[in-house]
Structure 1
Amino acid sequence: MTQAPTALMLFAAGFGTRMAPLTDTMPKPLIPVAGKPLIDHAVDLARAAGVARIVANVHYRADQIVAHFAGTETIIADETAQILETGGGLRAALPLLGPGPVFTLNTDAIWSGENVITKLRAAWEPEQMSALLALIPCEEALGYRGAGDFSLDPDGRIRRGPGYVYTGAQIINPAGIETISAPAFSLNLLWDKLLAQGRVFGIVHRGGWCDVGRPESIALAETMLRHD
């Protein structure tokens, strides 16, 4: 039986164009929120959940993130030659992550309340799941603009549609990712394959969540954390 994952992929390679002008001189994951860089909020969440191995991919202003993690246990997946997007980045990092399912975590969101990594691990059922996504209702998603990414069925399976926002935290079994021919691609391509098989599930995060994708969202996230 496939066990619960012990490794986590941090997506930290993006250009952060929505965060301009803050990202003119630094990568988005290093923008401070509540006194520490965005990426450190994600690392702290993973460490608190007991994740043994953390890998972060880098591309835009990669030297700054490499320097930030110098002397720590976080492993760098170097994409300076070519940015690979979420799917290509995960595939390239698999030798560093190890075999089997992995956690993935975006670095441009802030969570409060229950530890989303711990909750994903507790809900993971590998016999029927190839991916388990943490979701939040649209009306509770701070800093988010849109109708949602997925709808949630009574049995826990998800479908493309409005209602729930993907929080950027998941467990995914990357089996089959090697069949995607493009070097750079979104994880949406793998999700679509797994959705067609009925093997993508969702859980609802019970706590606060803020998409810190724009400068004005920093204050929203900091207010949320003060009231946690």
Structure 2
Amino acid sequence: MRTTPEALMLFAAGFGTRMGELTRNRPKPLVEVAGRPLLDHALDLVRAAGMGRIVANTHYLGAQIEEHLAGSEVLISDESDEILETGGGLRKALPLLGAGPVFTLNTDAIWTGPNVIQTLRAAWDPNRMDALLALIPPGNAVGHRGSGDFSCDPEGRLSRGPGHVYSGAQIVNPAGIETIPGKSFSLNLLWDRMISQGRLFGVVHSGGWCDVGRPESIPLAEAMMG
């Protein structure tokens, strides 16, 4: 089993309800920022990092995403029958991703600066970690509302509480995910297990990041991109 992740999952199945009219007839990953779909911005990061295998899950208006990705290297994990949330979606995609730790990346953010996937790869230590989350300092979290998600100790170990914002990018070892009950569940359940074992860690992204979850965040992201 590999211990250095070579596969990545793009989370692309959500309803995008906060986008309002922009997602009435199209899925959120196809909403455009600077003239290109959010999904393509995410794929730029993934391809630049040289990922060996890429999987995207689909649910809401998933046929549009499949059509957009047709002919590319991206494999599709079809969740059209039932929305599975992040945890259930990852579990269903594991046969496509392969054994061992994987990257996951949300498709509703814009990044600048160092490639976050390469930052995660450089900081990953499977001997100490079951997951490594890319974090954003609260003052740098453009478009984000809230007081932060995780506190971080001097070694990078995470606990729940106001502090850094989870960016939507991580490396996670899905071992044990099969024991979580139910088909639909959040990855927070797996993270809570890791917190209790002292094996959830974070690394801070030093570049720009914008949460493109609402229409008003689109011009913020475009301004950040310059």
TM-score w.r.t. structure 1 length?
Answer: 0.98
What is the letter of the counterpart of residue 86 of structure 1? T
Aligned counterpart, 2:172: 172
Aligned counterpart, 2:184: 184
Superposition deviation, residue 89 in structure 1: 0.1
Q: Which runs of 5+ in 2 are unaligned?
A: none
Superposition deviation, residue 139 in structure 1: 1.1
> Within 5 A, what are the aligned runs for 1:45-194?
45-194=45-194
CA displacement, residues 103-129 of structure 1 (integer Å, 9 cap, x when unaligned): 000000111000000010010000110
Aligned counterpart, 2:207: 207
| CA distance in structure 2 between the aligned counterparts of 1:50 and 1:182, rounded to whole angstroms | 34
What is the letter of the counterpart of residue 124 of structure 2? W
| CA distance in structure 2 between the aligned counterparts of 1:92 and 1:214, rounded to whole angstroms | 28
CA contact (8 A) 2:148 2:161 kept: yes
CA displacement, residues 106-162 of structure 1 (integer Å, 9 cap, x when unaligned): 000111000000010010000110000000111110000100000110011011011
Q: Which runs of 5+ in 1 are unaligned?
A: none
CA displacement, residues 42-90 of structure 1 (integer Å, 9 cap, x when unaligned): 1110110111111000000011001000011100000000010000000
Aligned counterpart, 2:33: 33
| CA distance in structure 2 between the aligned counterparts of 1:203 and 1:97, rounded to whole angstroms | 23
| CA distance in structure 2 between the aligned counterparts of 1:28 and 1:179, rounded to whole angstroms | 31
CA displacement, residues 179-200 of structure 1 (integer Å, 9 cap, x when unaligned): 0011000000000011100000
| CA distance in structure 1 between the aligned counterparts of 2:128 and 2:197, rounded to whole angstroms | 10
| CA distance in structure 1 between the aligned counterparts of 2:2 and 2:204, rounded to whole angstroms | 23
Aligned counterpart, 1:19: 19
Percent sequence identity over aligned pairs = 69
Superposition deviation, residue 3 in structure 1: 2.4
Aligned residue for 2:181, secondary structure, equals: coil
Superposition deviation, residue 34 in structure 1: 1.1
| CA distance in structure 2 between the aligned counterparts of 1:206 and 1:220, rounded to whole angstroms | 18
Aligned residue for 1:21, secondary structure, equals: helix
CA displacement, residues 160-215 of structure 1 (integer Å, 9 cap, x when unaligned): 01110000000000000000011000000000011100000000000000000000
RMSD of Structure 2 on Structure 1 (CA): 0.8
What is the letter of the counterpart of residue 46 of structure 1? V
CA contact (8 A) 1:2 1:126 kept: no
| CA distance in structure 2 between the aligned counterparts of 1:25 and 1:78, rounded to whole angstroms | 19
CA contact (8 A) 2:2 2:99 kept: no
| CA distance in structure 1 between the aligned counterparts of 2:4 and 2:47, rounded to whole angstroms | 16
Aligned residue for 1:20, secondary structure, equals: helix
Segments of 4+ moved more than 4 angstroms? none
| CA distance in structure 2 between the aligned counterparts of 1:109 and 1:160, rounded to whole angstroms | 22
Superposition deviation, residue 2 in structure 1: 4.6
Aligned residue for 2:206, secondary structure, equals: coil
| CA distance in structure 2 between the aligned counterparts of 1:57 and 1:20, rounded to whole angstroms | 22
| CA distance in structure 2 between the aligned counterparts of 1:6 and 1:20, rounded to whole angstroms | 35
What is the letter of the counterpart of residue 58 of structure 1? T
